[in-house]
Amino acid sequence: MSMLVVEGGTPLEGGVYVHGAKNAALPILAATVLGNGVSVVHNCPNITDVNAAVNILNHLGCRAFRDGDSVIVDSSDVCRWDIPESMMREMRSSVMFLGAILARCGKADITYPGGCELGPRPIDLHLKALEKLSIRIDEKLGRINCRACKARGSEISLDMPSVGATENIMLAAVTAKGETVIVNAAQEPEIVDLQNFLNCMGAKIHGGGTNVITIQGVEQLYGCEYTVIPDRIETVTYMAAAGITGGRLSINNVIPEHVQAVASVMKCAGCDIMHGESRIDISAPPRLKSVDYIRTMPYPGFPTDAQAIIMAMLSVSQGVSVFSENIFSGRFKHVPALTMMGANIITEGRTAIVRGVNRLYGASVKAEDLRGAAALVVAALNAEGKTEISGINYLDRGYCNLENALSSVGANIYRCKKENEI
């Protein structure tokens, strides 16, 4: 397995470019199953989770392939409604295909999805919602078998604003009979992107970005051409890289409004942030101030996906910062590795207390999940000496060539094969 090697201490200076959003591209690629024709999805990040989605599309009988920054999908000949466990296990987003396959084929046969280990990640809200759409669900021997001659629209009130469940309901309901209303829907920008893509295909959905989404069932959807929004968590990663190195970065191809909650934390920490329509200019002081209290919340609150990254950045700030992780019960897996690098962090349940230290020091550390991997890269950019980060297969799930972008603005970082690896 390869790893990243980082010599920390250089303030980053220059411009970086943000790619398309992983968490928008994945449900949109699942939605192409509904097109019954050719869809062209631009600004699709070249990451392993997108490759996994392309493999599932080809398994279902689509012809899907990457053409530069775009993925082209011809779903005219969808002929399967099952997804093998090996493909389901690749990522959490494989569960998005459930709603899409049901809407296209009227039946589906899948297993539980994979994804980063962030604590329990059930899909009970997904399945309960699909049953409200008159879809029959049988679970046996680890497989989930769904049948619906025709899904029927319904009002669905989610116990919590689950991103995945909201997306699955939208996908399953677009060709259902009648109207579906999702109450307590997730409001993330990726939900709005999925709504816009589906409407581009001929769906009739409105309310995306609010907590009530209405879907009028239509007979037929068509392939379309669409450009995915920029990745707000990649944007945050570059902001944190500037913050922890006392650097100045121009971050291009962003939607500033999507990172508002994190920008206000960065300003509290002492950074200057200016933004244009699609660019953020951030400059950081030699040492950041701590931020008293950061609570992860559903959008537009502070995003859980930024928690590890910002915790790494504040581990060298002046003072004490307290984090509470309110979305996932097991999302502090990056703390032991940060501690090995000299951070002073105590966790208790869903709370982490971060006492800022002057500087981190290089160590050999292993990533345990995607955003934890990004957090270790951010920490290593500050650390004195060499840091070796393994487990970067997690990083490659959500970032394409992060090391190239960081070295283009002065970071001393490279990817190499771990010693005595073949």
Q: Which of 234, 305, 325, 396 binds ligand EPZ (CB under 6 A)?
A: 305
Find the part of the chain contacting ligand EPZ (CB under 6 A) among 33-41, 50-58, 114-122, 244-252. Answer: 114-122
Q: How far apart are CA 238 and CA 414, in angstroms?
A: 17
Work out whether 391 is an interface residue with ligand EPZ (CB under 6 A): no
Work out whether 398 is an interface residue with ligand EPZ (CB under 6 A): yes
Q: How far apart are CA 411 and CA 224, in angstroms?
A: 40
Q: How far apart are CA 343 and CA 349, in angstroms?
A: 19
Residue 26 sits at φ, ψ, to 5 deg, of: -65, -50
Work out whether 104 is an interface residue with ligand EPZ (CB under 6 A): no
Work out whether 126 is an interface residue with ligand EPZ (CB under 6 A): yes
Q: Which lies closer to ligand EPZ via its Cβ, residue 123 or residue 383?
A: 123
Which of 168, 110, 95, 100 has its CA nearest to residue 144? Answer: 110
Q: Write each residue from 327 to 366 as x if it is in contact with ligand EPZ (CB under 6 A), else as -, in one continuous string.
A: xx--------------------------------------
Look up residue 238 and give its amino acid: Y
User: C-beta of 186: minimal distance to ligand EPZ in Å?
Assistant: 6
* Residue 116 bears catalytic tag: yes
Q: Which lies closer to ligand EPZ via its Cβ, residue 10 or residue 93?
A: 93
Q: Which lies closer to ligand EPZ via its Cβ, residue 288 or residue 310?
A: 310
Find the part of the chain contacting ligand EPZ (CB under 6 A) among 119-127, 239-247, 265-273, 347-355. Answer: 119-127
Q: Which residue is nearest to ligand EPZ (CB)?
A: 164
Q: How far apart are CA 152 and CA 154, in angstroms?
A: 7
Work out whether 193 is an interface residue with ligand EPZ (CB under 6 A): no
Query: Are the beta carbons of 167 and 194 closer than 8 angstroms?
Result: yes
Work out whether 41 is an interface residue with ligand EPZ (CB under 6 A): no
Q: Which of 105, 116, 146, 271 is catalytic?
A: 116
Alpha-carbon dihedral 56, 60, 62, 68, rounded to 10 degrees: 0
Work out whether 116 is an interface residue with ligand EPZ (CB under 6 A): yes
Report the side by side order of strands in the sheet with 204-206. Answer: 155-157, 179-183, 212-216, 204-206
Q: Which of 21, 26, 251, 291 binds ligand EPZ (CB under 6 A)?
A: 26
Work out whether 184 is an interface residue with ligand EPZ (CB under 6 A): no
Residues 360-379 that bind ligand EPZ (CB under 6 A): 370-371
Work out whether 123 is an interface residue with ligand EPZ (CB under 6 A): yes
Active site residues: 116
Interacting residues toward ligand EPZ by CB under 6 A? 22-23, 26, 92-93, 116, 120-126, 160, 162-165, 186, 304-305, 327-328, 370-371, 398
